[in-house]
């Protein structure tokens, strides 16, 4: 192991394992995580570097890896140690994204196809489809987005028209913009799809519904007639996830292929509603919490790479009479990486909180109480937007903190970035999500004005109403002080935005008024999300620092200090309009920042190691556990086929003729 | 042409050509630009989409394109219409980066190898090397950066030791970190390199000097003995620029291969200095101005794509009773794209200003006056950092403003982003550059305190000294008002940072004190750069709006208004600490922002078209001139080899066996 890292690790004052256990929710979870990672990753990743392959080769390599994973899954479940539930855990979600870095070509089957049939299918439909799908006898995807419509689902144009004479639905793509576009795994991998289409029956449109449609022959895999299908082309990333396009030309499916749990088309074509369609919000919310959890993991990977590299890399003397310091000694470097680290940890806490929140609300809903659904949904909107924006920004900051070497694929940042940034636009474009949260905040403010009871996550609005009369409260840079200041700031801006929208409504429609105030609405939505993150950080980190060992409790306090101070600095421009912050207070804030960075620097390798990313998962020449950065960088060059011959043929073919042409 | 764009264009109140002429510095320049673009691009780009190729294929395709360009250059120069100077213009710099989007594998030959020999070689050396290099009989690169050292040049470890007995230099790579690493074109393309190495003579190290070294046989292209060479591997982008590594094992070169214009090693090994080494700052400055100009062009490309797409794409009704509006009608969309547009234009102005500034200073230097070199150098440092940071950020914002489709390579953003973001770390890592500017600012403040004369670009510090006593001046949201406020803010923060550094110096060394205040120093450097950009924008745009047609003068006024208001909003948190800004003033600022966005939206297609990017240069399915977004997206899918067969072989090979295995 590199001596620099060895010495750093010897200085860590706390038990790294204790922190790991907390991050992953307990020692047993960590144990299982390590078992599964070792069992499934071992020998499958980092064998070849796909970045040298052609697009087709990349796809085929991904399918090959899926085949290996499926075999290992089968072997493991056959032992009886795990049941079917292991399939979605390994092949859906984040786990496999460390293994197939440009996206798993059968992920949507487990992430959406199966869950959607469970949530939208009747008992009979589940009995018909789930067993075959669970066995992977059929592979499916979820096809909603179209060329012309993404986030605005109601706008999709694919039609499913019921024909009572044959008791079938007729699927068509009436326009060029109605092409299904983006669904993952759709292009060449799956043979079935859940198609979201406008349902027409008795010449009436009943809105968007879900239909199970076979796309390819189960034996030959040839596309069925009336189906125009293919992939949408190369992207910044996710090039092995096989995003597809799909157009229907009079494709007929049986009536029973419409998922009818929530609403039904009877044999004679009558449309009957069974359940509150609102419930679909539940699925969207779940997906968004999953995204928060996923970007948190990828951000943490970037942070770990940047920290380890910064503890090995020496550059630019601070004092010319001394040897070049580790770049981590530059306070500017600490300020790039450590706040990102604190955000990854706070996102981790927040995702856990949101999961609990989600299951509580779902229980209430099962008991017929929908009262808190909109609170949950609107919170998941702004949090998904904030966390994906932050993670993308900070992954880039971590890459840039490693200088030029961060630009090399072998450093690991490229794959992470390509995986994180699309989350800013998929599952709800972030600006649209902010605006949805804002609508909830305006309604909540109205409630507050009327003195009605407020849901817990917006309860801080109440406080502001009562304190409205008082003069600007003065800034206090303690964690709880910063939380209070951000709450007052958010509340004040929500009040202002509400007033502006109401003023506009005197002359414009409500929608036009909201658009006119769009910039303010995005801002209040963001501030509300920040308040939630601060609240969660303060509550959870204070709690755990009480429960944990004295050595580790200091770490939690430092993380909380850094996260709150960093947030305060980033929102100074907003806060200062509503809080009185004199120059002394803002210098004190700067002082706290510098002090906490210095403290964290002393043990930061311990936090990095605690994230417990194996070298296979990190797959980084400059971030590996042993810190042998330069040796690994040079070794990685042997992966380049260009280096397998001393002279590339293009010299004789194109260059030499010209160089010898005596210009 | 798409009707939406047709109607938009009919509404443009000004002459687009007039704006184009201004952007490119005159009608004649535009005429030549179009001629050269048409002559060289025609039929060479967009034929095949390289993103589907393997790494090796991408490189060979790039070399093939270079071959075509060289042929066309030869034909054109043979006609006598152009001379040799056309080669660097076409094959160096930005021009060819629209054609070979992952980097021209012989660019460094023209960008650095030739210029460096001219600036560092004696008359005899120039006579020996320039003709052969100009004819491309030999191809060279510039090899400075090493595995262990980039921005900190003095740290490089490659040694060139003079041996008087043979009158040769002995080149060696003593450590693993001394491997040359990153030089473009080095790996498999060039056969010569200018090697920057620590010169040792008479057992003394004389620092970094330049040596011309042959790397490969001119006929076989085989690496010469003692030379270990290859490529460093795949990167986020620039994958055809052939970045290489290089290690020397006792490689001998003639004494005359050291470039000796500035300093010399005599035959018996004495070291003699001729010229002030300071002058190398000139070259670095020139490179950085070139970068500012380049990122401005790439940012403009992203802006044009986003604008055209936003004028065609319809999504999310603002008013449910009305059809879905063009997404540009959403004020949140305008606020994403239009400020980026104003920044591209201000960077364009600033690059022009800096070129003039540069040539003025060079003239002074030729007359022995080095007094303003440090001002020029420090200004180019913070501007390069700010412009590359802004361009990268805004290219991403433009991509995200196009939703999921922006993530498709065919949209064009991927190539732009990959080209812009590395500029944040190459030619001086941005944080290091900010800190260099800061040192100049601290020195300038000291001068100001002593009442000494200040260089023009920091003259605003003077004003602050005199106004120090006065109370906070109140905010005025006019362009010149915002400029004044930013000047006062920058000056105040420079004063504070100076005070903090001086305080630290009582206990720490100057370097440690500066590191302790590193975050403040980066901030003042950034603020200083913003002040310069504001200053330039105000002066140039006011000037041109007076000279131009009435219709266009309004456009320049709007651009200035948006740029200044946007800057003010982004730096509110800093300004408000030093300027008195009441809620009325900040609401007025918000009002100005909304109003100017509304005005620009009306004619924005005219500005987009004025950037005069041909469809070949833009190479974007969603940003093409005709606006046929969806048709082009679907057509582009035929470029994917995966779509050339209905069933990929991986189905039979890996998937089917498992799906049929009856799990």
pLDDT, tens digit (0-9, with 9 covering 90-100), for A305-316: 999 999 999 988
Q: Which of A224, A226, A230 is CA-nearest to residue A246?
A: A230
- Between CA A305 and CA A313, with CA A308 as vertex, the angle to 5 degrees is 110
Distances in Å between the Cα of B109 and the Cα atoms of B76, B88, B138, B285 are 20, 9, 9, 19
Percent of chain B with pLDDT over 90: 86
User: For A17-21, A98-102, A634-638, which range has the lowest pLDDT when averaged over its residues?
Assistant: A98-102
Element (H, E) at B354: helix B331-366
Query: Residue A360's CB: how many other CB atoms inside 10 A?
Result: 12
pLDDT tier for residue B470 given thresholds of 50, 70 and 90: low
Taking contacts as CB-CB distances below 8 angstroms, the residues of chain B near A643 are 187, 230-231
Would you call B388 an interface residue with chain A, using a CB distance cutoff of 8 Å? no
What pLDDT shows up at residue A469? 54
Joined tokens for residue A478: 């303690």
B 256-295 residues with CB below 8 A of A? none
A 462-501 residues with CB below 8 A of B? none
Q: Is the pLDDT of residue B424 over 90?
A: yes
Q: Which of B352, B347, B350 is CA-nearest to residue B295?
A: B347
Search chain A and give the residue with CA nearest B137: A659
Would you call B421 an interface residue with chain A, using a CB distance cutoff of 8 Å? yes
Q: Where are any strands of DSSP class E within B550-617?
A: none
Cα–Cα distance measured from residue A224 to residue A144, given in angstroms and rounded to the nearest whole number: 20
pLDDT tier for residue A365 given thresholds of 50, 70 and 90: confident
Search chain B and give the residue with CA nearest A595: B516
Judge: A642–B51 Cβ closer than 8 Å, yes or no.
no
Would you call B83 an interface residue with chain A, using a CB distance cutoff of 8 Å? no
Joined tokens for residue B265: 């090693």
What pLDDT shows up at residue B366? 85
Distances in Å between the Cα of B531 and the Cα atoms of A85, B466, B496 are 59, 19, 17
What pLDDT shows up at residue A323? 86
Å from A634 to nearest chain B CA? Answer: 8
pLDDT tier for residue A586 given thresholds of 50, 70 and 90: confident
Search chain B and give the residue with CA nearest A656: B219
pLDDT tier for residue A366 given thresholds of 50, 70 and 90: confident
Would you call B52 an interface residue with chain A, using a CB distance cutoff of 8 Å? yes
Cα–Cα distance measured from residue B548 to residue B550, given in angstroms and rounded to the nearest whole number: 6
Judge: B70–A658 Cβ closer than 8 Å, yes or no.
yes
Q: Is the pLDDT of residue A45 over 70?
A: no
Candidate from A56, A223, A425 with C-beta closest to B642: A56
Cα–Cα distance measured from residue A109 to residue B441, given in angstroms and rounded to the nearest whole number: 59
Q: Is the pLDDT of residue A412 over 90?
A: yes
A 224-263 residues with CB below 8 A of B? 230-238, 245
Cα–Cα distance measured from residue B483 to residue B570, given in angstroms and rounded to the nearest whole number: 13
Joined tokens for residue A600: 């964290």
What pLDDT shows up at residue A468? 56
Joined tokens for residue B100: 């070979």
Å from A330 to nearest chain B CA? Answer: 6
Taking contacts as CB-CB distances below 8 angstroms, the residues of chain B near A176 are 630-631, 634
Taking contacts as CB-CB distances below 8 angstroms, the residues of chain B near A430 are 400
Candidate from B245, B421, B642 with C-beta closest to A188: B642
Cα–Cα distance measured from residue A173 to residue A510, given in angstroms and rounded to the nearest whole number: 34
Q: Which of B74, B73, B61 is CA-nearest to residue B36?
A: B73
What pLDDT shows up at residue A467? 67
pLDDT tier for residue B157 given thresholds of 50, 70 and 90: very high
* Cα B195 to the center of its chain, rounded Å: 24
Å from A429 to nearest chain B CA? Answer: 7
Write the pLDDT tens digit of every residue in A84-141: 889 999 998 899 999 999 999 999 999 999 999 998 999 999 999 999 999 899 999 9
Write the pLDDT tens digit of every residue in B182-194: 999 999 999 999 9
Q: Is the pLDDT of residue A635 over 80?
A: yes
Burial of A242 (0-12, 13-18, 19+ CB in 10 A): buried
Q: Is the pLDDT of residue B484 over 80?
A: yes
Judge: B320–A631 Cβ closer than 8 Å, yes or no.
no
Mutate one of B114, B148, B404 to test the A interface: name it (highest A CB count within 10 A).
B404
Tokens 């590191």: give the residue. Answer: B515
Give catalytic residues of A, as residue numbers.
427
What pLDDT shows up at residue A576? 87
Search chain A and give the residue with CA nearest B183: A404
pLDDT tier for residue A282 given thresholds of 50, 70 and 90: confident
Judge: A335–B634 Cβ closer than 8 Å, yes or no.
no
Contact A521, A443 (CB under 8 A): no
What pLDDT shows up at residue B278? 62
Å from B362 to nearest chain A CA? Answer: 29
A 595-614 residues with CB below 8 A of B? none
pLDDT tier for residue A465 given thresholds of 50, 70 and 90: confident
Tokens 């995580």: give the residue. Answer: A33
Q: Which of A280, A290, A328 is CA-nearest to residue A308?
A: A328
Judge: B519–A663 Cβ closer than 8 Å, yes or no.
no
Cα–Cα distance measured from residue A600 to residue A603, given in angstroms and rounded to the nearest whole number: 6
Tell me the average pLDDT across B342-354: 98
| Options B294, B396, B427, B540, the catalytic residue | B427
Å from B382 to nearest chain A CA? Answer: 15
Element (H, E) at B221: none
Contact A449, A539 (CB under 8 A): no
What pLDDT shows up at residue A220? 97
Cα–Cα distance measured from residue B415 to residue B419, given in angstroms and rounded to the nearest whole number: 6
* Cα A300 to the center of its chain, rounded Å: 13
Helix axes A460-467, A479-505, angle to 10 degrees: 80
Tokens 């100076």: give the residue. Answer: B498
B 330-359 residues with CB below 8 A of A? 330-333, 335-336
Contact A538, A480 (CB under 8 A): yes
Judge: A518–B662 Cβ closer than 8 Å, yes or no.
no
What pLDDT shows up at residue A44? 74
Taking contacts as CB-CB distances below 8 angstroms, the residues of chain A near B182 are 404
Q: Where are any strands of DSSP class E within A110-179?
A: 140-143, 159-163, 168-172
Write the pLDDT tens digit of every residue in B625-658: 999 999 999 999 999 999 999 999 999 999 999 8
Burial letters for A296-323: b for 16+ Cβ neighbours within 10 Å, e otherwise? Answer: bbbbbbbbbbbbbbbbbbbbbebeeeee
- Higher local confidence (pLDDT), A316 or B204: B204
Tell me the average pLDDT across B552-558: 98
Judge: B663–A135 Cβ closer than 8 Å, yes or no.
yes
Joined tokens for residue A146: 């179209």
Q: Is the pLDDT of residue A332 over 90?
A: yes
Q: Is the pLDDT of residue B279 over 90?
A: no
Mutate one of B429, B642, B653 to test the A interface: name it (highest A CB count within 10 A).
B642
Highest mean pLDDT among A48-52, A64-68, B13-17, B85-89: B13-17
Sequence-ordered list of residues with C-beta below 8 angstroms from that of B151, at least 6 positions apart, any chain: A315, A316, A403, B428, B429, B432
Q: Is the pLDDT of residue A268 over 60?
A: yes
Write the pLDDT tens digit of every residue in B585-598: 888 999 999 999 99
Judge: A136–B643 Cβ closer than 8 Å, yes or no.
no
* Cα A38 to the center of its chain, rounded Å: 24
Judge: B432–A137 Cβ closer than 8 Å, yes or no.
no
User: Is the confidence metric ipTM above 0.90 for this complex?
Assistant: yes
- Residue B184 annotated in ligand binding: yes
Q: Which of A553, A654, A494, A117 is CA-nearest to residue B60?
A: A654
What pLDDT shows up at residue A46? 55
Tell me the average pLDDT across B453-476: 83
φ/ψ bin of B203: left (φ > 0), alpha (ψ from -120 to 50), beta (otherwise): left
Element (H, E) at B143: strand B140-143
Contact B437, B381 (CB under 8 A): yes
Candidate from A176, A396, A650 with C-beta closest to B630: A176
Would you call B641 an interface residue with chain A, using a CB distance cutoff of 8 Å? yes
Kindly tell me the sign of the dihedral angle through the C-alpha atoms of A591, A597, A602, A603: positive
Pairing of strands A159-163, A192-201: parallel
Percent of chain A with pLDDT over 70: 98
Mean pLDDT of chain A: 94
Q: Which of A233, A229, A105, A245 is CA-nearest to residue B640?
A: A233
Cα–Cα distance measured from residue A348 to residue B320, given in angstroms and rounded to the nearest whole number: 38
Contact B436, B381 (CB under 8 A): yes
Å from A548 to nearest chain B CA? Answer: 32
Judge: B234–A640 Cβ closer than 8 Å, yes or no.
yes
Q: Is the pLDDT of residue B14 over 90?
A: yes
Distances in Å between the Cα of B189 and the Cα atoms of B91, B96, B418 are 14, 17, 22
Taking contacts as CB-CB distances below 8 angstroms, the residues of chain B near A646 are 222-223
User: For A388-397, B48-57, B239-248, B296-305, which range has the lowest pLDDT when averaged over its residues?
Assistant: B48-57
pLDDT tier for residue A48 given thresholds of 50, 70 and 90: confident
pTM over 0.90: yes
Joined tokens for residue A603: 């043990």
Judge: A404–B150 Cβ closer than 8 Å, yes or no.
yes
What pLDDT shows up at residue B280? 67
What spatial distance separates the first Cα and last Cα of chain A, rounded to whole Å?
54
Would you call B536 an interface residue with chain A, using a CB distance cutoff of 8 Å? no
Judge: A515–B424 Cβ closer than 8 Å, yes or no.
no
Sequence-ordered list of residues with C-beta below 8 angstroms from that of A116, at least 6 positions apart, any chain: A142, A194, A210, A259, A283
What pLDDT shows up at residue A279? 60
Would you call A18 an interface residue with chain B, using a CB distance cutoff of 8 Å? no
Tally C-beta pairs within 8 A across A and B.
379
Q: Which of B488, B607, B473, B493 is CA-nearest to residue B552?
A: B607
Q: Spell out the SS3 assignment of A530-575.
A: HHHHHHHHHHHHHHHHHHCCHHHHHHHHHHHHHHHHHHHHHCHHHH
**Residue A451, phi then psi, degrees to nearest 5:** 75, 15
Search chain B and give the residue with CA nearest A586: B577
Search chain B and give the residue with CA nearest A51: B234
Domains detected in chain B: 16-102+283-424 (1.20.140.10), 120-127+137-275 (2.40.110.10), 435-465+477-602 (1.20.140.10)
Taking contacts as CB-CB distances below 8 angstroms, the residues of chain A near B590 are 519-520
Search chain B and give the residue with CA nearest A147: B630
Search chain B and give the residue with CA nearest A632: B176
Joined tokens for residue A427: 């599952």
Q: Is the pLDDT of residue B319 over 80?
A: no
């Amino acid at each position: 192991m590199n001596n620099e890292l060895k010495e750093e690790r010897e200085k860590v004052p706390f038990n790294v394992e204790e922190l790991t256990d907390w991050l992953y929710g307990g020692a047993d979870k960590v144990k299982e995580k390590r078992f599964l990672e070792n069992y499934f990753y071992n020998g499958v990743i980092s064998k070849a570097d796909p970045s040298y392959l052609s697009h087709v080769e990349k796809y085929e390599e991904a399918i090959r890896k899926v085949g290996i994973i499926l075999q290992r899954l089968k072997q493991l479940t056959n032992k009886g140690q795990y049941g079917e539930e292991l399939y979605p855990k390994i092949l859906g979600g984040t786990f496999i994204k460390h293994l197939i870095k440009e996206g798993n070509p059968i992920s949507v089957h487990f992430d959406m196809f199966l869950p959607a049939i469970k949530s939208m299918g009747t008992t009979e439909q589940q009995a018909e489809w789930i067993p075959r799908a669970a066995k992977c006898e059929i592979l499916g995807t979820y096809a909603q987005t179209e060329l012309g419509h993404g986030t605005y689902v109601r706008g999709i144009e694919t039609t499913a028209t019921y024909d009572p004479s044959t008791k079938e639905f007729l699927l068509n793509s009436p326009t060029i913009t109605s092409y299904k576009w983006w669904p993952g795994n759709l292009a060449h991998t799956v043979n079935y799809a859940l198609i979201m289409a406008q349902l027409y029956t008795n010449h009436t449109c009943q809105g968007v519904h879900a239909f199970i449609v076979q796309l390819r022959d189960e034996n030959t895999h040839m596309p069925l007639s009336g189906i125009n299908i293919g992939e949408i082309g190369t992207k910044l990333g996710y090039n092995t996830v096989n995003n597809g396009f799909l157009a229907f030309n009079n494709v007929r499916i049986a009536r029973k292929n419409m998922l009818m749990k929530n609403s039904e088309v009877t044999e004679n074509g009558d449309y009957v509603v069974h359940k509150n369609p609102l419930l679909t919000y539940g699925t969207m919310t779940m997906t968004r919490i999953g995204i928060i959890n996923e970007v948190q993991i990828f951000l943490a990977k970037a942070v770990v790479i940047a920290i380890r590299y910064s503890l090995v890399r020496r550059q630019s003397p601070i004092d010319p009479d001394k040897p070049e310091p580790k770049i981590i000694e530059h306070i500017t470097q600490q300020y790039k990486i450590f706040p990102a680290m604190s955000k990854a940890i706070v996102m981790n806490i927040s995702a856990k909180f949101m999961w609990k929140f989600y299951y509580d609300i779902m229980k209430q809903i099962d008991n017929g109480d929908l009262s808190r659904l909109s609170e949950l949904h609107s919170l998941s909107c702004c949090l998904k937007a904030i966390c994906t924006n932050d993670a993308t920004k900070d992954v880039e900051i971590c890459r840039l903190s490693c200088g030029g070497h961060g630009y090399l694929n072998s450093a690991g940042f490229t794959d992470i970035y390509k995986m994180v940034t699309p989350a800013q636009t998929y599952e709800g474009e972030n600006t649209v999500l902010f605006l949805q949260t804002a609508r909830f905040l305006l309604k909540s403010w109205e409630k507050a004005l009327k003195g009605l009871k407020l849901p817990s996550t917006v309860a801080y609005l109440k406080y502001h109403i009562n304190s409205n009369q008082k003069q600007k409260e003065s800034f206090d840079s303690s964690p709880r002080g910063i939380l209070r200041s951000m709450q007052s700031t958010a509340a004040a801006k929500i009040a202002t935005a509400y007033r502006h929208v109401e003023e506009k409504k005197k002359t414009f429609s409500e929608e036009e008024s909201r658009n006119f105030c769009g910039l303010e609405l995005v801002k209040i939505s963001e501030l509300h999300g920040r308040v939630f993150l601060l609240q969660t950080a303060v509550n959870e980190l204070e709690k755990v620092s009480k429960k944990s060992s004295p050595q580790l409790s200091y770490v939690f306090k430092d993380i909380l200090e850094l996260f709150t101070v960093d947030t305060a600095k980033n929102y100074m421009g907003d806060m200062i309009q509503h809080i009185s912050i004199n120059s002394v207070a803002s210098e004190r804030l700067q002082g706290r920042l510098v002090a906490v960075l210095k403290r964290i620097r002393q043990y930061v390798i311990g936090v990095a190691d605690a994230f417990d990313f194996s070298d296979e998962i990190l797959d980084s020449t400059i971030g590996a556990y042993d810190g042998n950065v330069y040796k690994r960088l040079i070794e990685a060059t042997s992966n380049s086929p260009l280096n397998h011959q001393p002279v590339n043929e293009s010299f004789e073919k194109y260059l030499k003729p010209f160089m010898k042409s005596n210009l």
